Amino acid sequence: MEQHMSSLLGFWMKRAYRDICNYLDSRLEPYGLTNSQLGVLMMLWEQDGLTQTDIQKMLGIQPASMTHLIKGLEHKQLVTRSGDPNDSRVKRLYVTEQGKALEQPCMAIVLEGEDKMRSGFSSDEAIIMRTWIQKVMSNLNS
């Protein structure tokens, strides 16, 4: 049975992911951020003081990639790392004032991207799509 790449669900999911990343990267360029760095910042804007491991698991990235992202954000003085007062092995991440100043303009870009992605979909269809994507992730992780 011959399978054409364009008939594979994974092909289209990967293409959509890349299009989203390219869109965000181009819109974030004036702020000196990548979409990967934005993911870390978004988590910390939501809950400052998370551990590297917390963020890594939520974003589904490898430890080495997480370390690279954090070093880049530290170099840009957008986050700081601090030891956990209860466990010296754990490092917690905190957004700096410079990092906090990026929240409003960067979240506007994220919401603009969400609007573009949802264009032509009803609210119910967007919920169904999110549910299906979550099911695909669950299938792959079981």
Residue 1: pLDDT over 80: no
Enumerate domains of the chain plus CATH numbers. 9-112 (1.10.10.10)
Task: Please enumerate in sequence order all residues whose Cβ is within 8 A of that of 33, keeping only pairs 6 or more positions apart, or say none.
Answer: 41, 76, 102, 106
The pTM (predicted TM-score) of the whole model is 0.89
Q: Which two tokens stand for residue 142?
A: 């079981």
The pLDDT value given to residue 98: 98
Residue 30: pLDDT over 60: yes
State how far the Cα of 18 lies from the Cα of 1, in Å rounded to an integer.
28
The pLDDT value given to residue 104: 98
pLDDT band at 3 (very low <50, low <70, confident <90, very high): confident
State how far the Cα of 47 lies from the Cα of 95, in Å rounded to an integer.
10
Mean pLDDT, all residues of the chain: 94
pLDDT in tens, 71-107: 999 999 999 999 888 888 888 999 999 999 999 999 9
